Structure 1
Amino acid sequence: MDNTLKTTRDEQDNITNEHQNCSSMAKDNNSNLQQVGDIRETTSSMKEALIIGRTKEKQKILSILSESSTQEITFLPTYGIGGIGKTTMAQLVFNDLQFKEYSRVWTYVSQTFDMKKIGNSTITQLSGNKSEHTDLQMIENSLQKLLSGKRVLIILDDLWERQSSQLKKLEGMLKLGEGGKVVVVVTTREESIAQNIHTDTVEPYKLAPLTDDICWTIIKIKSSFESRAERVQLELIGKEIAKKCGVLALVAQSIGYTLGNMEFDEWVSVNNSEIWDVLATGEYSPDHVHASLQLTYHRMDPYLKLCFAYCATFPKGHWMAIEDLIYQWIALGLVEPSRTFSNIQTGHKYIRHLFGTCFIEHPSWSQSTSFSSLFMKPDKFLIMHDLVHDFARSVLANEINIESPSCRYAWLTDHTKLFKSSMDPLANLFKSSVDPLTKIRALHFIDRGYLKLHAEALSGAKCLCVLDLSRCFVQELPDSIGQLKQLRYLDASWNLDVTESSEYQDPPESIMILKALGSLNKLQYLNLSFRQRPIGLPEVISKLTELRYLNTSFCEGYYLLDIPSANQSFIDCIGTLPNLE
């Protein structure tokens, strides 16, 4: 497996070098190219494949929960290997009519166990108001009120915490309600964790592996097998491939989609691939999934590989906005130039392909984990399965390791990895050295809370193409932002505290459009949504001649500092931008 991953990394290095050569020559002139209609991004076969072979197990789980209906609280841990379909099963339970009259909560727990996060997520979804309590006692007080006298279904997806003491605290927090009925379904990979969850009368439920026949059925659906003329020859090979899917629905779906574009001799090559050798031991490990996913990955064209790998820069479970993601791909030069299709259209083509392979999928309403997601439509967002995310990260390797000099994509939600000091390191971000930024091409500060950037914080980011400050209460944007000559993507949405300098005494909900932004002559994407009162100078906006996307939704108005007439329309400032879509 190590040699296989090394080959993948060597190939990725070659792709990156090719990308650097071609991106410097790519022209942003696709706005005048032929326009075609978008194709649907989802397929019924994907949804059908997801639930094949699980109907009986779903009914069994629902029956178990019905039998415990007399208890005020029921915990049902479900467990099984990664990729077997635990989250899918939880979604089926979550959306079943049996719980139609229940208030429902879905929380993605992840490898980082956080009681406050789980508590606040539950409060937010039950009350409809965002909860950000930092005191556990306040969280418990709120939960006691919200859970008492009500019927509530809670899904805790992907639990990794092994310490019994922590799990007991979690149980205690969810037991606070009185006179109601609370059902808690937990998904985890480990049986030992499932056994540690409180179960007076309900035993942990082990999700059964898929049979080879079910894997073959999934492959047939994903590969459009029934429409093939050579079905007799393909079936013998296809059944052999199904046996190598490791009883995992995720692998069967990915391989099935890839086979759909192959001829008979290519099916034979897939079946005989040495990548399957990692499965010969018969012992399951994440390498089994990685080996299977590599078969699909290696069939991608170089640009699509780059776009897929970039998705690993987002944290596990993160909702990726489709349009934002495509604009980031474009800003980074990851989208192949075309004389026929615009970059946006090519980006949507990549999305459809990744959907087909099940490398990405739409989140469901049940996976809404934050207050902001109440404003979101799941079909406008993407998520990655944990195992696919792990595979993508193995492809990027040091390019997303912020402690590596080769880092190109940084997501600063955990700044302690980059800064040794524990004393508010973000207050003097990059003040002492610009070395960490010299190769950075994408920098995310999402959900960092109050963030103060030194005036020269970004001066070393000569290669920066994507800057995301969304949901950060940035008090002052650094002057050095004007030096980002390669910047093509800037997201300052949900920032409620940005000002240019102290000379402007603006209310905290306003945002100052910096004069320096006018020098960003390559900027294509600017998001100022949920800012209430953007304030700025007309010449700043009018100089952004390459701007293609401008989002000021949920803003109460736009105020121009040097125009005395209050009737001056913001439209007048953007109406002359030649590329705005």
Structure 2
Amino acid sequence: MAWALVSTIKDQLSSFIASEFSSIANVKGEVQKLESKFHIIQAMLNDAEKRQVKEEAVKLWLDKLKDVSYQVDDVLDEWNTAMIKEKIEKQQKDEEEKAETRAAKKRKVWLPVSIPNLFQHRVIAREIKELNEKLDEINKEREMFGFELSRAIEVVERPKTTSFVDVAKILGRDEVRKDLVSILLGEGNQKEERSPYVISLVGMGGIGKTTLAQLAYNEVKTHFDMKVWVCVSNSFNKYKIAMEILESIQYKSPNMTASQSSLESEILEFLESQSPNMTALQTLLETICRKVEGKKFFLVLDDVWNEDSTMWEPFKLALKCVANGSRILVTTRKTRVAEIMESVSIINLKELSKEDCWLVFSKIAFFDRDSNQREQLEGLGRQIVEKCKGLPLAAKTLGSLMRFKRSIQEWKSVLDSNLWQLEDAEIKSIFAPLLFSYYDLSSPLRRCFSFCAVFPKGYVFSIDELVFMWIAQGYIKSNANMEIEIMARDYFENLAIRSLFQDFEKDKDDGKIIRCKMHDIVHDVAQLMSKNECFTINSDINLGLDYKNARHLQLKILKEAQIPESIYSASNLRTLILVFQGDYNLSTLFQHFRCLRTLTLNFEYGDMLKELPDVVENFIHLRYLFLHKYDDNLPETICSRNYHKE
């Protein structure tokens, strides 16, 4: 991640040195010193990034380097913005003068192009000198770590057209799947029916709970009148879960008449306008009860963590009215969750057998290889599979990694890597295979991957939204032969074919991926690699964290909740994704964030953003603005910029 950032800074510094403005500003010498230091540091960053997982001192050193690099980036971007502004103003002035003097045919005196005023000269010179001094200290500190040199040029290649390998049918869970389907359909000698009838899939992260639930869901869905899938994740938000259930029932119910649909829309519209309190929750649950009463209902609650039985009680009562044969399927890592939800059947998923794990790995790793290559690499492959410890996610991810390694030496390098020697047992068994995939990425792709940690677990990514955000952050290296949006999509596909995304939804016309998700464990790795930079927080939860090094933040402000003052320290934010309910003074919030490249404003529950504050004119770095539920004009100060609204 740091490698790509430093690489971007180096390119900007080189352009600045080559321009006429460096001599005008009298900072050329300082900029050349910066470039030279970054060049030296970059050669050691590949080793530093790998060592940061085990060495806290290296992690702290990288944090210092990234902080200075971001500051340099901001200064150069501010300077470049001033240049562009000066150029535009001068062109406008020239146009006016031409119009005034054309008749008299007076001789025009031309001035040097785009020269900022003297004050800006002094500011830029002082800032660059201060940054040079900070980088001097960082450069001295790196000597104590003895980093290995690496001068490889990292390029993001276009993915092959035959990128995706379907492993859904080779999970090695045939018997478990049959048992689960049998229970869901009520076959065999079941215990006495109770409503709701709850089945729980329990197992560690990466064991395949969600995948198994998806297979069973698709196999039995025609046997139920109504089907709903809800991703619960860490926070058990009763109001949000109830809203998702009701929305899914409304839009997917096959027997709903037009009048019923209209009525339900009115109910949802009313509920969305209310605060998420107990009264609104009760109204939601009563509506759900009326909709599912007497119906054969199938509900999947995926990734449940909360062990508080009182959170589950309102749903259990609301769903007692369903018909016999209805089912609730829960996936969780905790046996306690299955118990408090009064599961009639608990299925504990165990690790895959060695042979089944090999099947998952080999189908991907040996995809499109001839029998001779397979024979040469199979022995090493089976040793690598031993390290997967029976986890399907690990086998799938490592298979995707080894698929692109052609030589025996490359396979041996993975097998002998010191990443397998991580001390923490859980990190070793779950994270190590994913860390291999992370470090095998080029540095630009690492930045794109780590950025995804700003979104919450279970988030459904819009590919267009994601790639535009990457572009706004400057993560996509320009190529004169290809449009930047096409390049950004290539970046996404490179991550997808390495099994770092899943649950793909494709466009029916052209087959392109339009939406997807990220596995929870993969998301954990993204968070690990972007620690202290990416945050997702709710205003009602006081995490007590320090946000001074935060660069990307998703903030959800519940209606009538206070904006946590602790986030005001995040003055270096480059991304702010604000999800909020109610009327807030955004001017007060925005005045703390002057470095934003990306700003997303998403009103929930029927509200509408009335006005965008004029303070946004200070966002001189802003590249991407997304407005959801906004019906007014933009302030004149930014009306010429690219933005998107719904």
TM-score bracket for this pair, using the shorter chain length: 0.7 to 0.9
Q: How far 1:12 moved relative to its partner?
A: 7.5
Q: How far 1:18 moved relative to its partner?
A: 6.6
Give the TM-score, by structure 1 length.
Answer: 0.73
**Aligned residue in 2 for 1:56:** 175
Alpha-carbon distance change, 145 to 435 in structure 1, aligned in 2, over 3 angstroms: closer
SS of 1:486 mapped into structure 2: coil
Q: How far 1:189 moved relative to its partner?
A: 0.5
SS of 1:83 mapped into structure 2: coil
Alpha-carbon distance change, 312 to 178 in structure 1, aligned in 2, over 3 angstroms: closer
Q: How far 1:184 moved relative to its partner?
A: 0.3
Q: How far 1:470 moved relative to its partner?
A: 2.5
Alpha-carbon distance change, 2 to 340 in structure 1, aligned in 2, over 3 angstroms: closer
What RMSD, in angstroms, separates the aligned Cα atoms of the two structures? 3.3
Say if 2:286 and 2:318, in contact at 8 Å, map to a contact too: no
Say if 1:78 and 1:205, in contact at 8 Å, map to a contact too: yes
- Structure 1 unmatched ranges of 5 or more: 29-37, 366-376, 416-421, 496-509, 530-581
Q: How far 1:219 moved relative to its partner?
A: 1.9
**Aligned residue in 2 for 1:487:** 622
User: What per-residue deviation string (whole Å, max 9, x for no partner) do you get for residues 18-55 of structure 1?
Assistant: 78768958999xxxxxxxxx97988551x325742123
Letter in 2 for 1:438: S
Letter in 1 for 2:528: S
SS of 2:437 mapped into structure 1: helix
**Which of these residues, 247, 259, 272, is aligned with residue 124 of structure 1?**
247
Q: Distance in 2 between matches of 1:41 and 1:21?
A: 39
Please tell me whether residue 471 in structure 1 is matched to residue 603 in structure 2.
yes
Letter in 2 for 1:96: E
Q: How far 1:477 moved relative to its partner?
A: 1.4
Where do 1:232-251 residues align within 5 Å? 232-251=375-394
Letter in 1 for 2:331: T
Say if 1:254 and 1:296, in contact at 8 Å, map to a contact too: yes
**Aligned residue in 2 for 1:543:** none
Please tell me whether residue 142 in structure 1 is matched to residue 287 in structure 2.
yes
Please tell me whether residue 345 in structure 1 is matched to residue 486 in structure 2.
yes
Alpha-carbon distance change, 251 to 179 in structure 1, aligned in 2, over 3 angstroms: closer
**Aligned residue in 1 for 2:307:** 162
Q: Distance in 2 between matches of 1:298 and 1:186?
A: 34
**Which of these residues, 343, 352, 367, is aligned with residue 210 of structure 1?**
352
Identity across the alignment (%): 25
Please tell me whether residue 186 in structure 1 is matched to residue 330 in structure 2.
yes
Q: How far 1:379 moved relative to its partner?
A: 3.9
Please tell me whether residue 87 in structure 1 is matched to residue 224 in structure 2.
no
**Which of these residues, 234, 237, 250, is aligned with residue 111 of structure 1?**
234
Say if 2:205 and 2:521, in contact at 8 Å, map to a contact too: yes
Where do 1:40-439 residues align within 5 Å? 45=165, 47-49=166-168, 51-65=170-184, 66-67=186-187, 68=190, 71=193, 72-97=195-220, 99-128=222-251, 129=265, 130=268, 132=272, 134=277, 135=279, 136-175=281-320, 177-179=321-323, 181-199=325-343, 202-225=344-367, 227-228=369-370, 229-262=372-405, 263-278=407-422, 285-362=426-503, 379-401=513-535, 403-413=546-556, 424-426=561-563, 436-439=569-572
Alpha-carbon distance change, 439 to 164 in structure 1, aligned in 2, over 3 angstroms: same
Aligned length: 473
Alpha-carbon distance change, 361 to 13 in structure 1, aligned in 2, over 3 angstroms: farther
SS of 1:48 mapped into structure 2: coil
User: What per-residue deviation string (whole Å, max 9, x for no partner) do you get for residues 162-199 of structure 1?
Assistant: 13343444422322x15454210000001222233224
Letter in 2 for 1:251: A
Say if 1:450 and 1:475, in contact at 8 Å, map to a contact too: no
Give the TM-score, by structure 2 length.
Answer: 0.66
User: What per-residue deviation string (whole Å, max 9, x for no partner) do you get for residues 365-393 of structure 1?
Assistant: 9xxxxxxxxxxx99411211111111111
Where do 1:460-539 residues align within 5 Å? 460-471=592-603, 473-495=608-630, 510-518=631-639, 523-524=641-642, 526-529=643-646
Q: How far 1:314 moved relative to its partner?
A: 0.6
Letter in 1 for 2:574: R
**Aligned residue in 2 for 1:4:** 54
Alpha-carbon distance change, 10 to 346 in structure 1, aligned in 2, over 3 angstroms: farther
Alpha-carbon distance change, 115 to 166 in structure 1, aligned in 2, over 3 angstroms: same
SS of 2:207 mapped into structure 1: coil
**Which of these residues, 584, 596, 602, is aligned with residue 452 of structure 1?**
584
Q: Distance in 2 between matches of 1:11 and 1:462?
A: 24
Alpha-carbon distance change, 261 to 91 in structure 1, aligned in 2, over 3 angstroms: same
Say if 2:578 and 2:600, in contact at 8 Å, map to a contact too: yes
Larger Rg: 2
Letter in 2 for 1:214: D
Say if 2:52 and 2:59, in contact at 8 Å, map to a contact too: no
User: What per-residue deviation string (whole Å, max 9, x for no partner) do you get for residues 378-409 of structure 1?
Assistant: 94112111111111111111112573211111
Alpha-carbon distance change, 234 to 39 in structure 1, aligned in 2, over 3 angstroms: closer
Q: Distance in 2 between matches of 1:18 and 1:260?
A: 35
User: What per-residue deviation string (whole Å, max 9, x for no partner) do you get for residues 227-254 of structure 1?
Assistant: 1443222100000100101211111111
Q: Distance in 2 between matches of 1:13 and 1:255?
A: 32
SS of 1:254 mapped into structure 2: helix
- Structure 2 unmatched ranges of 5 or more: 1-50, 82-157, 252-264, 536-544
Where do 1:9-20 residues align within 5 Å? none
Alpha-carbon distance change, 484 to 22 in structure 1, aligned in 2, over 3 angstroms: closer
